[in-house]
Amino acid sequence: MIIYDFLSELFGSPVLAAFIQSFIPLIFLIPFALFAVWLERKVSAFMQDRIGPNRVGAHGWLQTVADILKLIQKEDIVATNANKPLFNIAPVLVFAGSYLAFAAIPFSSAFIGSGIDLGLLFIVAASGFVVAGILMGGWASNNKYSLLGAVRSAAQVVSYEIPTVLVILSVVMLTGSLSLYELSEMQTSSFYNWVIFGGTAPTLQKILLIPFMFIGFIIIYISSLAEVNRTPFDIPEAESELVAGFHTEYSGMKFAMFFLAEYANMFAVSAIVSAIFLGGYQSPFGYLGNTIGWEWLVPIEQFFWFAAKGIFFVFVQMWLRWTLPRLRVDQLMALCWKYLIPIAFVNLLIIGIIVIL
């Protein structure tokens, strides 16, 4: 809020301020992606008893910067039989779709994005553009592997949206709000007020809710893994079957764009899961700024907690990637339709009954 007010005073127009503000998450996202790629390589190296990148900078932390420099210089190849306009638009559409979600994510109480009332629904809607972009890239490449990867990805994302929405619905029944900002503000002051511990419901309700909230959290985390095409659900880009899935034909900066979109998506789903269940930008205990009387410190602390929770869940995604084997296509669909959706429905029903009590 503070940043938006500051910008609208500076430019004298709310529309212009909103336009400028929409670039702010990018300032966070690009360094995050650089860091996360390095972290992923280090984590995988650690888990496989290797050293990982260690040449560029201390512990190789500049490796991704060097990689980006390399990707910028690379020749931009478009296969002869590819559909050129769609091939060029696809990376932009995929990144735009994943960046769209950041419009609804509050980073701290000083920066709440657009703060729309329907934030959770908006994020579900934004993922449709990612799917359309992936299908576009896969089809325009004119490559069997790309098309297979894209079609698998679309089937997967569309299926796993259902358990996600069901869990979101059960949270909405409890909190009565679809806005991520309001959700985060509700879970203030202590980790005991987080939705995963039953939110701010009365004590008896809270105790009844906790196990079902944990089930909901696990379901939404599994389906968010599937929505960002991460292992164990990475069949759209399964290296051993499909070369690199929908982005097989891409090189240079277009490939980097897909990569950036993937890491932006990973952070977005982590931030959303933490905003729904784990208090978003709220600290698990009080704020240092409030204790020592420095009010201006509180938003910065909130940003720290937001980033810490997000990066922690990104780390868990990497951890799972290097631990679990990949699911087959039929297993993936069976997991969604035969297990997650029925469990999510029953969970929704039980949470509804507890909330009415």
In the complex, which residues of this chain contact other proteins (CB under 8 A)? Answer: 13, 15, 83, 86, 116-118, 121-122, 124-129, 131-132, 135-136, 138-139, 144, 147, 150-151, 154-155, 158, 161, 178
> How far apart are CB 118 and other proteins at their closest, in Å?
5
> How far apart are CB 184 and other proteins at their closest, in Å?
17
Q: Which is nearer to other proteins, 15 or 356 (CB)?
A: 15
Q: Which is nearer to other proteins, 147 or 226 (CB)?
A: 147
Q: Which is nearer to other proteins, 52 or 352 (CB)?
A: 352
Q: Which is nearer to other proteins, 90 or 208 (CB)?
A: 90
Tell me the chain's radius of gyration from C-alpha atoms.
21
Q: Which is nearer to other proteins, 109 or 159 (CB)?
A: 159
| Cβ count near 13 (within 10 Å) | 12
Structure tokens at 254: 């277009």
> How far apart are CB 308 and other proteins at their closest, in Å?
30
> How far apart are CB 230 and other proteins at their closest, in Å?
20
Q: Which is nearer to other proteins, 79 or 121 (CB)?
A: 121
Q: Which is nearer to other proteins, 37 or 150 (CB)?
A: 150
> How far apart are CB 140 and other proteins at their closest, in Å?
8
Half-sphere exposure at residue 21, Cβ-oriented, CA atoms within 13 angstroms:
29
Q: Which is nearer to other proteins, 36 or 166 (CB)?
A: 166
> How far apart are CB 151 and other proteins at their closest, in Å?
7
> How far apart are CB 21 and other proteins at their closest, in Å?
15
Sign (positive/negative) of CA torsion 27, 264, 67, 82? negative
Contact 153, 236 (CB under 8 A): yes
| CA 355 – CA 53 distance, rounded (Å) | 51
> How far apart are CB 135 and other proteins at their closest, in Å?
5
